[in-house]
Amino acid sequence: MSHSTDFAALVGSRICHDLISPVGAIGNGLELLSLTGDAKGPEMDMISDSVNNANARIRLFRVAFGQPGDTQMVGEAEIQSILQGLAPSSRVSTYWEVDGAVPRSELRLAFLGLMCFESAMPFGGSITVTREGEGWFLLAETEKLRADPDLWEPVAKGDVPEGLVPAKVQFGLLPAGAKMLGRDLKVDLNEVSIEVRF
């Protein structure tokens, strides 16, 4: 392997690939139990909701943290399935207004943007994702925005914030991913919204 190999992305892809099958199998097992009538009650509903959320989150992570792939496309149905799987456990409503399949490398940036938005919206809100010609436009709106300037100010300049912790790794990957695609990352913030273009 060459010195430029992105081992972190390869590890992310491998972990998500290996986890998606057993989590999916648990979900299938719960579905079979429900058909027999043996799996009823709030406890089983809680387990089922957790499995569905884990499945959707792993698929999100697989795109956001995995090997981007230059030519691979991701269909709209798959994207909507991921977002719908995340919806029940989130206070944020996401509106995907992009028609058809999109390049995985671009979807990766969009998902990283969504993850950055979520960290600034602890009280909920809405996120809208659209296309502007060849570019992308992501808008987060909330009544109580909590955008950490130590994270957002470097990202707005196209830089990776210093001292990132694992829970905020998306703030490093977003500007790095934009540079890798040759895209200019533009960020505009005010008291109730954040706009990201790339």
pLDDT of residue 1: 41
CATH number at residue 146: 3.30.565.10
**pLDDT attached to residue 137:** 98
Q: In angstroms, rounded to a whole number, what is the distance separating the alpha carbons of residues 3 and 113?
A: 28
Both 112 and 138 in a single domain? yes
Dig out the tokens for 97 from the structure. Answer: 């207004």
pLDDT (tens place) for every residue of the chain, 198 residues total: 444 556 677 777 778 778 878 888 888 888 877 787 766 778 778 888 888 888 899 999 999 998 877 689 999 999 999 999 999 889 999 999 999 999 999 999 999 999 999 999 999 999 999 999 999 999 999 999 999 999 999 999 999 999 999 999 999 999 999 999 999 999 999 999 999 999
Going by C-alpha positions, the residue among 180, 182, 194, 110 that lies closest to residue 149 is: 194
pLDDT at 70: 67
Same domain, residue pair 83 and 118? yes
The verdict on 187 and 104 lying in the same domain is yes
Q: Hey, CA dihedral for 125, 74, 16, 18, is it positive or negative?
A: positive
Range of the domain at 93: 75-198
| Beta carbons of 131 and 137 less than 8 angstroms apart | yes
Residues 58 and 83 in one domain: no
Cα separation of 47 and 30, whole Å? 9
Residue 82 shares a structural domain with residue 180: yes
Q: Helix crossing, 104-119 with 42-65: angle to 10°? A: 120
